[in-house]
Amino acid sequence: MKNENRKTEIINTASKLFKEKGYSAVTMRDLAKEMGIKAASLYNHITSKQEILSVLIISLAEEFTEGMTVIINSNNNCVEKLKQIINLHITITSNNQFGMASLNNDWMHLEATLSYYLELRKNYEDNFREIIKKGISNNEIINENAEVIVFSILSTLRSLYIWLPIKEELNIFKLTKNLNNILLNGISK
């Protein structure tokens, strides 16, 4: 159990450094220094910086995939599913802002797990697109270009990690309500 906690601590510290400096600029020495240990000690818990990045990104991508699977399989209408997706993004991002920076900015540095990540991402986007198309077809969503709708909403949700304040009192319920209203209803009076 202690090894697992140390590995989690290494991954969390690395995710913070990756957000601050970018994956490529962070060395194992930087990580060890930030943790107050010797670089060689890191290898008792992880095999490489690449392993850290892979664990970080793949775990988040799988969390999004699991959430999307639940949403897709629900009996809710398309607008309700979109609301659930917005909540999913807010929840995951608020719990892991540093990791979300790597998911969005460093995924191209994945090596052994890159194709798996790209498959997860493609499936997620395809499911999102299908909800939009079905919503248009069911007359729940305005009949506009589905790709523009997908791009508009996902771009906002993917960049939440940049905007979200780092506060303990973040009111996820209120933020979800606000984003649902703006992203799904627009800003016109």
Specify the pLDDT at position 122.
Answer: 98
Q: Look at the pTM and tell me if it is higher than 0.85.
A: yes
Specify the pLDDT at position 171.
Answer: 81
Exposed, middle or buried: residue 173 (CB in 10 Å: 0-12, 13-18, 19+)?
A: exposed
Q: What is the mean pLDDT, run by run of 10 residues, along the chain of 189 residues? A: 77 94 94 92 92 97 98 97 96 92 95 98 98 96 94 94 72 88 86
Specify the pLDDT at position 1.
Answer: 46
In whole angstroms, what is the distance from residue 161 CA to residue 48 CA? 25
CB-based contacts of 66: which residues, under 8 Å, 6+ apart? Answer: none
Query: Going from the N-terminus, what domains does the chain have, and what CATH number goes with each?
Result: 54-185 (1.10.357.10)
Specify the pLDDT at position 189.
Answer: 73
Specify the pLDDT at position 162.
Answer: 87
